Structure 1
């Protein structure tokens, strides 16, 4: 069960967040006070790992400016309680199979469930959880009739019904006849005349039929005990797959030491402090509990288990903490002494130390840097939860806030390797740090913005409050700052930017354009003006984000020359419809090939591009590629070539990729015979691009 969309309404700074999509990892970016924390806190309460955290309180949580009006409207019956958080979850194959095994095929109209929670409370004072499972009841009824193998006559009658209640009513009528059938059977056994006895036995044949109907009726009655069929399916099957939500912020950091008896009392009284959670995770990771810490069977066994948990976490730290590779964790349990901290002078204490093998010194965990304590505390709690192998959604509020920029990169590496790679876990985190935005995955970014904090004017309700945007093109300049910082850092490393930037998709486009421009100029024709800096962004998905960020920088002239596929049409149109670029600055290769779809490779005559493929992959081709071999009708030559090699693979395990012919062309361009038609297309494109220069 994977979280796919979220919507938050009428909670703290949020009137309506909008529906926003969620990936395996999702980064909520926005400036301070934008409402990022409110979004993840609302989502956390949908199914919190700490059960008592699942309530909303109108007084504390409803937007303060209208809380009194809201309460009066609810009390007077003018409105119902607001739904605060609504989330859509996609069912996976195992969950769909579990439903199919019990109820047959096709009983869900789509493989999603919607779960929500708001201010409405049940009799026990808990906020109600609402679940919507899209059941096709008529399909369910037909499947059940088939499964219970009713006799043909009864089956034909039953198939007239499309709801569980209707079918149950029909079977109730069948059941009332059973007494008569039993009586008929009894009578038959007492009749001596053969003709009369045969008639009575015929009347009793429906007894077996009614037994099958009774079994089906039992199943229907089970379904009808719930408020809806969807509710029954949720309670009996799907609820076991519902992921817990783990919320973690700076207040969950370990202190590094604690009194075990006091910790046990807080746990029993359900008054745990936030800092207790990671410590309990560590103890659980060691396969211990508080009683075993207080009354160990063997000292050595206790030490071994604590050391095992410490070693596990130390190995993670060494792998992902590049700030200091000489650290390891040590945990010990000792009796309290008079000189110990307050609250730890009696009973049994647990101590966490950090050993530095470089300086041969141990210091208390609480004395280390705030960033290290945060990292270790999170590792301790999450590692314990990870061992349970249960579905989990991690909600991290400003993770690594106190970490150095390089350590934040380490944290991103940890996210990718340990969380995103786990098929049962998902991650949502908030940040305003550029170093916490993964430049390889801008598509995971969601912008969090509150226009109301930037103006004194009264905004309409539809525009006011915290909003979450999937499309970065909707974001304001302040909200984009972390992305600009992340992009700036990436650009600093690549240096592919200038006052006139021509955005292309990848490195192969860069090689082709530089090489063909040189050929054109050598022939006295028009190539790309040297004032253009060709800026490859790493794929079509990154083009909108990259353009949105760099055009916000002053004095930058930006144009695009990119591939065009039908699926990219809206994305490309948005570049000018959202007023990021003038329409004239959005160029595609389809503009110069006359084709419905085109990559840069389609700018070449087909015979020339095939010769580039043959030249680059000559050692891996069983036979030279020919135009007649490309039987696919796809408009783009790359698709046609991919289709060919999927049927006739290269030798030696070689794989076709479009970068290698580009490199071959760049190396051989001056010696190749290039048709005038190819040169004409590229010259036309270069002229169009050069016409966009501003300085």
Structure 2
């Protein structure tokens, strides 16, 4: 089961997040400090948290400025929704439900959580839920028939009770009574008669509603656990068991400081008190041990039991260390690293064994390594070791990892749990890839009155919100600037998105693509293309330039530096590959028909104008007829379009223009 969309309300900084979509595998929440990213994760977690998660409390969780509305009784927590989310079913979920009722492909479940902690849910598309109205007429007619057959008055009374039930009532709630009545009436109904058919219809209705109920129950039982993890939930390298046990018994637990330690104990299957008592040593031999046979027997039995408990502890600690080692190796990339959990008197220690066989405590390794160990401990404890299907809500993951390790962690984040959907927040540009534009959701709070909003679009009120995306793009461009032997310099970032998306889609469809994987580098403006080409040529790298066929492109194409630097075939113009568009053609005109269709979906319908003016550039038409036209939105829409529908969804003219461009670039490089 996968989380597909959510709308969050009435929770801390969130008044109404608005409805936002959640990606199937990984979703990235980006926003400035105090925008409400943690509140978004916490509100999502409330849908199906682990048992040890703090319960919702209106004093702590309702927007503070509105708290008086509850305290004065004008609003009640039970009527205030915190989260409304939709889960889409996987094949395994459908198979589980199909054992009881037919299940269509479009079945999904909506879950609602309220501020008082109550929860409701609805399964959509499973078929009509039957009410008493479905059987009301047959019950009346069956009673009339049975009355003529000298049926017992008790049987007739049972039918009278059923027919008196409100017609809108759930049939399943009365299924047992209907079944009992039918079993009593069966001997009074001749086989093959019309009343026998009526009896069959009533029985079928009961079986249908029971099947519907069991199918919805099967779907509900498979609701995934939502596991929240914060950087604060750190496992301490040395845990004082007696101190922790005493604080637990006093109710003096720090929910953040102790959470990692308690998770480790839960993962091991012990309480702090149990381990503390085991650490106190073996039972002391009584003074009468040698002279009293009964005392000797009791002591020997206690000693044997103590040794058995020590063995049990050792086996559990060893098994836990093996599991954590496997998890860490899978992500950390070091097959020599080994974790051991050791009980030493009143202390529980997490040790790391390096490739030399040297044991050191966890705090002597890097903060990033310690974070990763803590994450897996909490994850396994909260998920009760049933990792498959849990949804991971990661708050600022990898914050203490080195920048390059963050990049590796980003690439392997889906390996943290097999078949786990992941939603994480970040400020770090290294945790967002330039190829993950469609996975990003912007969390923004323009004012306290408006509260936290979650945007799928990248065009937001506060430009600081998308700074990690800009920084990520800048870093990636810098890293790749001289990495490739062959390079194609284009004008803008959206041109790069178009070219990369088209090249990938064409490759998947078996159509022509750029040879030797050239780096596609946006210069920012046409005037800077010459400078970029100069830098690449100075590094003895192959370089070509793709310029728009507008005035700025004309000026750039005739710059002395570019003319002297590149052969004529290496200065490409967008208009050379497009039939019909005259002066002013841009990269977008390679995809004219498709972009016009996508623009209409975005609210910018200029199809009729474009049809009447076939030689006019598409962006010129859109920007003249509509306000706030965004090249970023169009680029993202095309990326999603190609991902979902493939290269063959483009028109023949667009595919032809792409093939011409590819041939020219390959020749130039």
**TM-score bin, normalised by smaller chain:** 0.5 to 0.7
1:251 aligns with 2:239: no
- How far the C-alpha of 1:258 sits from its partner, in A, is 2.8
- How far the C-alpha of 1:87 sits from its partner, in A, is 0.8
Specify the alignment match of 1:564 in structure 2.
Answer: 591
Distance 1:390 1:438, change over 3 A: same
Specify the alignment match of 1:450 in structure 2.
Answer: 445
- How far the C-alpha of 1:81 sits from its partner, in A, is 2.9
Distance 1:184 1:283, change over 3 A: closer
1:166 aligns with 2:133: yes
Query: Which of 453, 475, 488 is the matching residue for 1:467?
Result: 453
Aligned-partner SS, 2:79:
coil
Please give the alpha-carbon distance, in whole angstroms, between the structure 2 residues aligned to 1:585 and 1:208. 70
Please give the alpha-carbon distance, in whole angstroms, between the structure 1 residues aligned to 2:224 and 2:88. 12
Query: Which of 427, 450, 456 is the matching residue for 1:432?
Result: 427
Please report the RMSD computed on the Cα atoms of aligned residues, expressed in angstroms. Answer: 4.8
Distance 1:318 1:103, change over 3 A: closer
Distance 1:101 1:640, change over 3 A: farther
Distance 1:85 1:298, change over 3 A: closer
Specify the alignment match of 1:25 in structure 2.
Answer: 26
Aligned-partner SS, 1:251:
coil
**Structure 1 length normalisation: TM-score?**
0.59
Please give the alpha-carbon distance, in whole angstroms, between the structure 2 residues aligned to 1:498 and 1:576. 31
Whether the 8 Å contact between 2:489 and 2:544 is mirrored in structure 1 is no
Query: Residue deviations 1:178-217, cap 9 Å, x none?
Result: 74476489xxxxxxxxxxxxxx996995675465355346
Whether the 8 Å contact between 1:500 and 1:532 is mirrored in structure 2 is no
Aligned-partner SS, 2:32:
coil
Name the count of aligned residue pairs: 496
Whether the 8 Å contact between 1:560 and 1:587 is mirrored in structure 2 is no
Distance 1:305 1:567, change over 3 A: farther
Specify the alignment match of 2:506 in structure 1.
Answer: none
1:134 aligns with 2:124: yes
Please give the alpha-carbon distance, in whole angstroms, between the structure 2 residues aligned to 1:567 and 1:667. 25
- How far the C-alpha of 1:283 sits from its partner, in A, is 5.9
Aligned-partner SS, 1:391:
coil
Distance 1:564 1:180, change over 3 A: same
Structure 2 runs not aligned, ≥5 long: 153-187, 279-305, 482-486, 504-512, 521-542, 564-584, 606-615, 622-647
Distance 1:2 1:288, change over 3 A: same
Specify the alignment match of 2:644 in structure 1.
Answer: none
Whether the 8 Å contact between 1:8 and 1:14 is mirrored in structure 2 is yes
Whether the 8 Å contact between 1:354 and 1:364 is mirrored in structure 2 is yes
Please give the alpha-carbon distance, in whole angstroms, between the structure 2 residues aligned to 1:516 and 1:256. 56
Aligned-partner SS, 1:47:
coil
1:9-20 matched pairs, under 5 angstroms: 9-20=9-20
Distance 1:568 1:417, change over 3 A: farther
Query: Residue deviations 1:474-495, cap 9 Å, x none?
Result: 3522111111111111111223
Please give the alpha-carbon distance, in whole angstroms, between the structure 2 residues aligned to 1:254 and 1:50. 19
Query: Which of 288, 313, 320 is the matching residue for 1:309?
Result: 320
Specify the alignment match of 2:56 in structure 1.
Answer: 56
Distance 1:172 1:202, change over 3 A: closer
Whether the 8 Å contact between 2:392 and 2:423 is mirrored in structure 1 is yes
Whether the 8 Å contact between 1:15 and 1:466 is mirrored in structure 2 is yes
Whether the 8 Å contact between 2:591 and 2:654 is mirrored in structure 1 is no
Distance 1:9 1:113, change over 3 A: same
Please give the alpha-carbon distance, in whole angstroms, between the structure 2 residues aligned to 1:466 and 1:563. 39
Distance 1:262 1:111, change over 3 A: farther
- How far the C-alpha of 1:132 sits from its partner, in A, is 2.6
Specify the alignment match of 2:7 in structure 1.
Answer: 7
- How far the C-alpha of 1:41 sits from its partner, in A, is 1.0
- How far the C-alpha of 1:309 sits from its partner, in A, is 3.0
Aligned-partner SS, 1:452:
coil
Query: Which of 119, 128, 143 is the matching residue for 1:176?
Result: 143
1:373 aligns with 2:370: yes
1:636 aligns with 2:629: no
Specify the alignment match of 1:334 in structure 2.
Answer: 344
Specify the alignment match of 1:154 in structure 2.
Answer: none
Please give the alpha-carbon distance, in whole angstroms, between the structure 2 residues aligned to 1:532 and 1:428. 46
Aligned-partner SS, 2:85:
strand
- How far the C-alpha of 1:300 sits from its partner, in A, is 6.0
Distance 1:528 1:40, change over 3 A: same
Structure 1 runs not aligned, ≥5 long: 122-126, 141-162, 186-199, 224-228, 337-348, 454-460, 534-557, 589-631, 642-657, 671-695
Query: Residue deviations 1:260-302, cap 9 Å, x none?
Result: 5776788899987456655565567668888996456375665
- How far the C-alpha of 1:174 sits from its partner, in A, is 4.6
1:615-634 matched pairs, under 5 angstroms: none
Query: Residue deviations 1:371-392, cap 9 Å, x none?
Result: 3322111022334638414421
Distance 1:467 1:497, change over 3 A: farther
Distance 1:207 1:262, change over 3 A: farther
Specify the alignment match of 1:44 in structure 2.
Answer: 45
Specify the alignment match of 2:477 in structure 1.
Answer: 491
Aligned-partner SS, 1:473:
coil
Query: Which of 87, 90, 103 is the matching residue for 2:88?
Result: 90
Please give the alpha-carbon distance, in whole angstroms, between the structure 1 residues aligned to 2:422 and 2:240. 33
Query: Residue deviations 1:625-660, cap 9 Å, x none?
Result: xxxxxxx9984278699xxxxxxxxxxxxxxxx89x
**Structure 2 length normalisation: TM-score?**
0.61
Aligned-partner SS, 1:176:
helix
Please give the alpha-carbon distance, in whole angstroms, between the structure 2 residues aligned to 1:633 and 1:413. 29
Please give the alpha-carbon distance, in whole angstroms, between the structure 2 residues aligned to 1:487 and 1:585. 26
Whether the 8 Å contact between 2:429 and 2:469 is mirrored in structure 1 is yes
Aligned-partner SS, 1:103:
coil
Whether the 8 Å contact between 2:37 and 2:443 is mirrored in structure 1 is yes
Distance 1:373 1:181, change over 3 A: farther
- How far the C-alpha of 1:31 sits from its partner, in A, is 0.9
1:214-293 matched pairs, under 5 angstroms: 215-216=203-204, 218-219=206-207, 232=213, 236-259=217-240, 273-274=255-256, 278-279=260-261
Whether the 8 Å contact between 1:184 and 1:204 is mirrored in structure 2 is no
Whether the 8 Å contact between 1:74 and 1:81 is mirrored in structure 2 is no
- How far the C-alpha of 1:9 sits from its partner, in A, is 1.5
Query: Which of 200, 208, 212 is the matching residue for 1:212?
Result: 200
- How far the C-alpha of 1:572 sits from its partner, in A, is 5.7
Please give the alpha-carbon distance, in whole angstroms, between the structure 1 residues aligned to 2:602 and 2:650. 26
Aligned-partner SS, 1:8:
strand
Distance 1:357 1:243, change over 3 A: same
Aligned-partner SS, 1:252:
coil
Query: Residue deviations 1:241-263, cap 9 Å, x none?
Result: 11111111122111123355776
Query: Which of 436, 441, 465 is the matching residue for 1:479?
Result: 465
Please give the alpha-carbon distance, in whole angstroms, between the structure 2 residues aligned to 1:85 and 1:3. 12
Query: Residue deviations 1:111-153, cap 9 Å, x none?
Result: 222211122x4xxxxx21121323576x56xxxxxxxxxxxxx
- How far the C-alpha of 1:11 sits from its partner, in A, is 1.9
Specify the alignment match of 1:626 in structure 2.
Answer: none
Aligned-partner SS, 1:133:
strand
Distance 1:269 1:133, change over 3 A: farther
Please give the alpha-carbon distance, in whole angstroms, between the structure 2 residues aligned to 1:302 and 1:201. 67
Whether the 8 Å contact between 1:576 and 1:586 is mirrored in structure 2 is no
Please give the alpha-carbon distance, in whole angstroms, between the structure 1 residues aligned to 2:274 and 2:73. 54
Distance 1:181 1:25, change over 3 A: farther
